Chains A and B, each alone.
Chain A
Amino acid sequence: MSENGMSKSARRDPAKKRKRSSADQTQLQTILIRFTRHRPAMISLVLLAVIALFAFVGPFLWAWDHTVYKEIPSNQPPSGAHPLGTSAAGHDVLGQLMRGAQQTLKVAFTVSLLSTAVGSVWGATAGYYGGRVDAFMMRVVDIFLIVPLLVAAAAIAGNSGAGTSWSAIALIISIFSWATIARVVRGVVLSLREQEFVEAARASGASAPWIILRHLLPNAAGPIIVAATLLVAVAILAEAGMSFLGLGIQLPDISLGQMIGSARTAVSTRPWLFYPPGVLLVLICLTINFIGDGLRDALDPRQTRVRR
């Protein structure tokens, strides 16, 4: 049909020939470029990377870790040897901070990953099938949505012998946070499934799992990613709350919430115990929220806002 590598239509219309060079930019590149234009998000990304380094690489570089040492004098204000002071039991606060940040980040990202995986499949399945399947699945989601996250997680953690490792905490929090993702995904899928390419897949003989995994979820990727990012911040605050109440990560392991909890009575007397973990928590959540906002702007092709 065509010998010299050009289709018939391209030969007839020279404008189509030019299309080849400009269309090299893939969708992914477009999204990345749009994200980089969002200044708060970019700054937050850098900041978060620094915090992650602090949390995961810091312990290898800093003299003290998060456990108690006899040599450490207790209740010392910040000094050269202990830039953030020491705790009542004899911890180096900086070492605690690093480890606390590490645990907090590990829990939060695990929660987000788990919840997103389960919630996306659940929501997409409910949205695709519709009817009674959908109604039933969403009732289940509603039940989990209505329960206060902290309450439920604390109750389970406090009552079960599941231990208080960060992975157990992550699992417990995930049980109550997948529902928000499911709801978001179902909403997106409801509008997607009316599109003709879904019908085309059915006409080719595609089964429901095929359509859900290969068509619906990839096309819902944008909102899913945004929701997952914002869920990280929610998970951080949930874990912090649990640890603050003594029902989350417990000694000898440390988390930021727990540090604040132990320092509850020392807000004015030993502020170096109370403020640093809180500030770090706020920074982490702030950066994640901004990144989520930037992702939302980058992934939504209809966004017309121009950030300064």
Chain B
Amino acid sequence: MINKKVANVTEACKGVADGMTFMLGGFGLSGIPENAIAELVRLNVNDVTCISNNAGVDDFGLGLLLQKKQIKKMISSYVGENAEFERQMLSGELEVELIPQGTLAQRARAAQSGIPAFYTPAGYGTEVAEGKEAREFNGKMHILEHAFEADFAFVKAWKGDTAGNLIFKGSARNFNPNMCGAATITVAEVEELLPVGSLDPNEVHIPGIFVQRIFQGERYEKRIEQRTVRKK
């Protein structure tokens, strides 16, 4: 099997540079590539464009890059939980493209699948449709959306093997599988990196062909954004 394993996050992030476009998996703080984000902060890469459904919270997730003003542009669907984000956006320091969540997922998936563009009904008649081709199919209007182009995709999985095969857990799966193979280099970090042969091929969510580098992540905080419980 082709070995995708790299020693650590530093090896995994080799080649990242100022001005690049990154895709990052995760929904809210669930399933975010915590190790890669910490490394991007440490490397202090600047003027980057980040494609991610959310922008973290003020002191965690992509909020850490926002704090250091490393992000030039965010492409997201929902940014409600981050005061610093809202401040940078309203003041014009940060360029923001807000797009429908399903469009975000599908633009990643299109990039992964070699489909340059697709039509979707989402956003027709709204400001999301401005400047985009509109076309009627089956009596309903749709707009043309394009596949993402990115230099790195950073994803987080539950388990992986050294061939790059990945298994995700719960709703931490979210955008992670869609972003694998959607950028020039896909970096997967996993909670448990196993030898080849340890994963049942029937249970692999993303085949290793979509992953260039895989490493064993460390010290996952897995912060909960809204802790909601019921009484026993």
Are these two chains actual partners, yes or no? no
